[in-house]
Structure 1
Amino acid sequence: MLFCDKNSHRRKEGPMDIRKRWVRGRDRCSFCGKSADEVRRLVAGPNSFICDSCVVMCKDLLERDEIAEIRAGRRLALVPRRIRAVLDSYVIGHDRAKKALAVAAFNHLKRISYHGTEVEMGKGNVILMGPTGCGKTYLAQVLARAMGVPVALVDATPITRAGYVGEDVESILMRLLQAAGHDIEKAERGIVFLDEADKLARRTGRDRDVGGEGVQQSLLRMLEGSLVAVPRRSSSGEDRVMFDTRQVLFIAGGAFDGLSNIVADRLQSARAGFCGGRQLGVGEGSLHETMPEDLYKFGMIPEFVGRFPVLIAVDALGEEDLARVLAEPRNALLKQYARQFALDDMTLSATPEGLRAIARRALALGTGARGLRTIMEELLLDPGFECRSGSTYLLDEKAVATGSARLVLPKLATG
């Protein structure tokens, strides 16, 4: 298609007309025919020119085509690298876990986008293993935000088998439906994060394991993909909707205390008689080397583990990681508190030594990143109470040692 300017003739131009115009003025846009004097910028190519207006027009056309392809399901807007980039902006460390989650999320998007094609793609549910406070739940929240799908954060501990006091497994989907604004189609493409899933392990010595193996059994059909009758508003409501779980991504998270010992025993048995090395100590088995049989010994039934083909281990955060968590992410704690201080015309800053001192105290608490907010609340209690407009506070090593942010007095002006 040839775009002409308002001064061009109305008749359709032929090859000879274009050639004559090219001879009359070389510095003209090859698309709309405008001269260099009529446009803001003219970009030269090997044998042609294009003006800034036509560049914008071409860009709009390409973006419309891309949006149409995404809506038609022929292309995906997110790729693993983009998902990983979003995770990097909010989560510190866990490089391998973020890469594995990005791939799992991308496969989930492909499955729901190309659902109903000639090849039916299976589900890739995920088990996230790692100590408390390492960021498992937060990873799932940021992942859902990056994918643009609703997420339901469900605690597994109060869930019991049907007929016993507690929450039924259907309450999991009810929460996802609520997170989706009761839009059933949107909910059926969402994510369920089943926190404390390790508490569902088989409990020996009990005749009625209503909250362990029984719950695992009750979850099997939902995890595999089935139609479940879910209350729309409350667990006691009669108004129910059929919820198709085939496209729901389930992420089971837990600390799995003691699993590393099981992994160590297996690795020690495998190396016995071959290398004759030292005995592995307690807890030396890495969760990154976890196999399904290790989870069986932990107390998870094979049918449950088999519905989670992706096993991801998340390491504990060290001192340097916790110091970075305080200052680097988009919603870092230091940035949040600095914003709160700014609303009261106060300034808050921290030194690298101060951040590391806070990180050391958090490590001593043993609660991972959760301990950072507890310490920050303690350090900023007095400044928040005094609320001195125009004041500047500093979190350095001395402030952490004394238990309160230091008031930095402004220097007196000298004449």
Structure 2
Amino acid sequence: MTVTLDSPKAIHAQLGRDVVDQAVALEQISVALYKHLQHIKVGNIMLIGNSGTGKTTIMRSIERLFSEHGAAIGHQNTIRLNANIVSNDESTDLESSVILARLAQNAHKLMGSSPNVDQFRDLIENAVVFLDEVDKIRAYVGDKPNPRGILAQESLLTLIEGEGVSLPLSVRNEQGGFDQHKVPIDTGRILFICGGAFEGLYDMVYRRVAGGETRDKLIQEYVVTESQEDMEQKIHFSLNDYVRYEDMFEYGMTPQFLGRFDEVIVLNDLTIKGLMRIFVDPPNSLFREARRYFASLGIELQASKEAVQRIAEHAYDNHRLGARALRMVFKRIMRGIEFDPHDHYLVKQAGEKKVLLLTRDLVDRYF
């Protein structure tokens, strides 16, 4: 089947294969990526989400999308950096900044042995730059200024605003030698996607809303209790419903820097069903890794749907850890079993093979 990227919906369908429980966020991201592919001016994107909600997965999915599909020719130059690298960058001029240096390095690899000026320019200007942990470059922490964070935001702002720079390129000439070029680059065409957990932002916004400092009222919802006989009132608080740019400023992102992001997207906390998918489906999922391990011992690992659901439920109880909570929960269950599965009387002979079955009772035994 031929995969096209000729609409936001087509891009959304591709990203949705990898990213769980973030359909609305992916809609906004897909529109931005489509505009970028069509050379239509697009604002940059800021992703806010608890650890393990999928920020890095989204970035990796976009990288793979642009590198694997012919429809993205000329846009394959994607780099992913930790924002701390930017804050530690001691370059004295923009041309030698770590971001442009990495983009130029990638462009050379993509062009191979036959570089040309136009291709080089396109690969830089059509690039996507992912900056992770951008919340670590706050302008201040508490009441104290953070000089490195301030400098990093100012440096990024200059790049994101659209600065004209010239980058060097050597092109082989007909005589077998090399001509040196200074290639003009408009950095304003580069798409920046920044992400961070913004730890403390959730609590800060909740205090503002719950404290009655504004007219906002917490959304109330009613749920049926286990007895099914009465209703229990719960407060439903979603950061996405209440966060404002002013909260981001108070957190330590400068208005000038944040003003360069058209989309500030708050990722959902993962649902139990989403955690179940993450636990089982991906090629490198925890469950598939465990199956490979036990297969090396001559044992086939199986899991009931109820067991998978219980693992996801225990992980959901630690929702601020997102998908990372799955590993914590699963390791707690499997630690002794991995060492000696036979000692736990868990391995059953099924014909010619040995089977280790994870059940709900087994999961609950460790909680």
Q: Answer whether TM exceeds 0.5 for this pair.
A: yes
Name which of 164, 187, 190 aligns with 1:248.
190
Partner of 1:226 in structure 2?
163
Aligned mates of 2:271, 2:135 — CA distance in 1:
23
Instruction: Report 1:70-85 matches (<5 A).
Output: 77-85=5-13
User: Secondary structure of 1:123's match?
Assistant: coil
Partner of 1:372 in structure 2?
326
Would the aligned equivalents of 2:218 and 2:237 in 1 still touch at CA under 8 Å? no
Partner of 2:33 in structure 1?
105
Bigger CA radius of gyration:
1
Name which of 118, 138, 154 aligns with 2:57.
138
The Cα of 1:325 is off from its aligned counterpart by 1.5
Partner of 1:399 in structure 2?
362
Instruction: Report 1:183-332 matches (<5 A).
Output: 183=110, 184=120, 185-203=122-140, 205-206=143-144, 209-228=146-165, 244-261=186-203, 263-264=205-206, 265=208, 268-271=212-215, 284=237, 286-329=239-282, 332=285
Q: Bigger relative contact order, structure 1 or 2, given CA contacts below 8 A and separation 6+?
A: 2
The Cα of 1:79 is off from its aligned counterpart by 1.6
CA pair 374-222 structure 1, distance change in 2 beyond 3 A: same
User: Secondary structure of 2:86's match?
Assistant: coil
CA pair 386-103 structure 1, distance change in 2 beyond 3 A: same
The Cα of 1:285 is off from its aligned counterpart by 6.0
User: Secondary structure of 1:159's match?
Assistant: helix
Aligned mates of 2:218, 2:51 — CA distance in 1:
34
Instruction: Report 1:323-402 matches (<5 A).
Output: 323-329=276-282, 332-338=285-291, 346-364=299-317, 366-376=320-330, 379=333, 390-401=353-364
Aligned mates of 1:386, 1:147 — CA distance in 2:
44
Taking structure 2 as the reference length, the TM-score comes to 0.68
CA pair 337-247 structure 1, distance change in 2 beyond 3 A: farther
The Cα of 1:373 is off from its aligned counterpart by 3.4
Taking structure 1 as the reference length, the TM-score comes to 0.61
Aligned mates of 2:218, 2:267 — CA distance in 1:
30
Root-mean-square deviation (CA, aligned residues, Å) is 4.1
The Cα of 1:156 is off from its aligned counterpart by 1.4
Would the aligned equivalents of 2:89 and 2:98 in 1 still touch at CA under 8 Å? no
The Cα of 1:344 is off from its aligned counterpart by 6.7
AA of the residue aligned to 1:271: R
The Cα of 1:211 is off from its aligned counterpart by 1.9
User: Secondary structure of 2:17's match?
Assistant: helix
Aligned mates of 2:109, 2:23 — CA distance in 1:
35
User: Secondary structure of 1:126's match?
Assistant: strand
Partner of 2:21 in structure 1?
93
User: Secondary structure of 2:261's match?
Assistant: coil
CA pair 337-257 structure 1, distance change in 2 beyond 3 A: same
CA pair 163-246 structure 1, distance change in 2 beyond 3 A: closer
The Cα of 1:227 is off from its aligned counterpart by 4.2
The Cα of 1:244 is off from its aligned counterpart by 4.5
**Unpaired segments ≥5 residues, structure 2:** 68-75, 111-119, 170-181, 221-233, 343-351
User: Secondary structure of 1:134's match?
Assistant: coil
Aligned mates of 1:108, 1:332 — CA distance in 2:
31
Offset from partner CA, 1:235-266 (integer Å, 9 cap, x none): xxxxx987643332111111223334554537
The Cα of 1:132 is off from its aligned counterpart by 1.0
The range that moved more, 374-383 or 87-96, is 374-383
**Unpaired segments ≥5 residues, structure 1:** 1-62, 68-75, 112-120, 233-239, 404-415
CA pair 324-230 structure 1, distance change in 2 beyond 3 A: same
The range that moved more, 214-223 or 337-346, is 337-346
How many pairs are equivalent? 308
Aligned mates of 1:285, 1:364 — CA distance in 2:
16
Partner of 2:115 in structure 1?
none
Partner of 1:20 in structure 2?
none
Offset from partner CA, 1:325-355 (integer Å, 9 cap, x none): 1123465433454356557764222112211
Partner of 1:159 in structure 2?
86
AA of the residue aligned to 1:254: G
The Cα of 1:90 is off from its aligned counterpart by 1.4
CA pair 270-374 structure 1, distance change in 2 beyond 3 A: closer
CA pair 340-259 structure 1, distance change in 2 beyond 3 A: same
Aligned mates of 2:219, 2:307 — CA distance in 1:
42
CA pair 290-110 structure 1, distance change in 2 beyond 3 A: farther
Offset from partner CA, 1:266-298 (integer Å, 9 cap, x none): 7955527xx9999xx999462344332332222
Offset from partner CA, 1:104-158 (integer Å, 9 cap, x none): 11111112xxxxxxxxx43321000111111111112112322333432211134
Aligned mates of 1:327, 1:391 — CA distance in 2:
21
